[in-house]
Amino acid sequence: MEFTGERFIPTLPGDIRLEHLHRYEWCTPYIQGKRVLDIASGEGYGSYALSRHAASVIGVDISAEAVNHARQKYADRDNLTFVEGSAASIPLPDHSIDVVVSFETIEHHDQHEEMMSEIRRVLTPDGLLIISSPNKKIYSDLAGGDHNHFHVKELYFAELDTLIGRYFGNVRYYGQRVTATSLLLPHEAEASDIIQTYTEFNDGVRRAVPMAIEPMYYLAVASNTALPEPAPVTAFFSEQDNAFYEKQREVLELNTEIRRMSDYIAEVSNALSVRDKDLAFIKQELANTSQELASTQQALAAAQATLCARVIRKLRSLLGKS
């Protein structure tokens, strides 16, 4: 399945890979032993990840190509099925799902009310919705003209909150973004779930979990009954993706090329400056030579006139004697 920009595929490197894989692993505590709907399931990698922990997973996508691809690629999981369908008309019975997971979907269409109504319909009365939505302020407004043309209707936080609030009585929000950080990790692998976080504030550094200020994506956990315990703060590491270091290397190479070009431009500028001075000197010499030539031509003309006058007088004198 080729990447077109509409659906993520797990071979892509960079921020998009970290964001997508992190989301599915983050929701693991919510889906243990549950009947899960993943909509839209896209390439199928997320549904497959969920199926390692859930009792069953149904991946629904509007693209027949994506569904067929997922069925073939992830056929080894007995508790995983893929179905063609729309988020605005989910092909599942009422109250048949414990947890609906919907990542990077709501912005790809404008049938938001229909989607939320359908999600509530297929969920059990105490079911749970886990949904992501790009933060329009950061994702698009501050990005200038760099807009994802597959996004039909993005939402500001207030719009997302109002939409979810119309269908679910309880909601908790999280923020996600790839950011700069420093890691101190064991030199040899150690199994540990303890991570201490330090955050730099205006008044200094202290041990604290930073707030999700201006995240790239919002994630909401919503239900019409009491919400489960909050998910822990998580970080996602990838040994396969060295995109950050690749970017650093590219920046270094670009800086080296910029310096080389700057040196070349300086050399050319110096050469042009010398050439301009030489041209100015040549022009001055040419002007001086032109003046000298003009003076010489005037003197020659005067000499010719004088000589002609003498010759004429001499001839007249000779003719007069004869």
Give the model confidence (pLDDT) of 248-295 as tens digits: 678 788 888 998 899 999 999 999 998 989 898 899 989 899 898 988
**Domain edge (last residue) among 241, 268, 283:** 241
The answer to whether residue 8 is domain-embedded is no
Nearest to 85 by CA among 126, 133, 13, 37: 37
Which one is predicted more confidently, 104 or 124? 124
**Domain edge (last residue) among 200, 220, 241:** 241
Which one is predicted more confidently, 180 or 217? 217
- What pLDDT does residue 204 have? 80
Beta-carbon contacts of 233 under 8 Å, excluding residues fewer than 6 positions away, are: 195, 197, 209
Same domain, 191 and 263: no
The answer to whether residue 153 is domain-embedded is yes
* Mean pLDDT, residues 181-197 taken together: 68
Q: pLDDT-based confidence at 179, cuts 50/70/90? A: confident
The answer to whether residue 275 is domain-embedded is yes
Same domain, 231 and 102: yes
The answer to whether residue 7 is domain-embedded is no
pTM exceeding 0.85: no
Same domain, 234 and 249: no
Query: Do the strands 35-39 and 80-84 form a parallel or antiparallel pair, or are they unpaired?
Result: unpaired
Same domain, 180 and 234: yes
Which one is predicted more confidently, 16 or 78? 78
Lookup result for tokens 């590491």: 237
Same domain, 196 and 292: no
* 8 A C-beta contact, residue 123 and residue 150: no
The answer to whether residue 6 is domain-embedded is no
The answer to whether residue 5 is domain-embedded is no
Write out the H or E segment, with its range, that includes residue 114. Answer: helix 112-122
pLDDT tens for residues 2-19? 655 556 566 555 676 788
Same domain, 59 and 163: yes
Same domain, 96 and 196: yes
The answer to whether residue 229 is domain-embedded is yes
Nearest to 157 by CA among 170, 138, 143: 138
pLDDT tens for residues 199-241? 767 788 777 766 667 898 999 999 999 999 887 767 666 656 5
Q: What is the number of structural domains in the chain?
A: 2
Peptide bond before residue 66 is cis, with ω within 30 degrees of 0: no
**Domain edge (last residue) among 221, 241, 261:** 241
Domain range spanning residue 279? Answer: 242-321
- What pLDDT does residue 113 have? 98
What CATH number should be reported for the domain holding residue 211? 3.40.50.150
- What pLDDT does residue 193 have? 66
Same domain, 308 and 237: no
Write out the H or E segment, with its range, that includes residue 17. Answer: helix 15-26
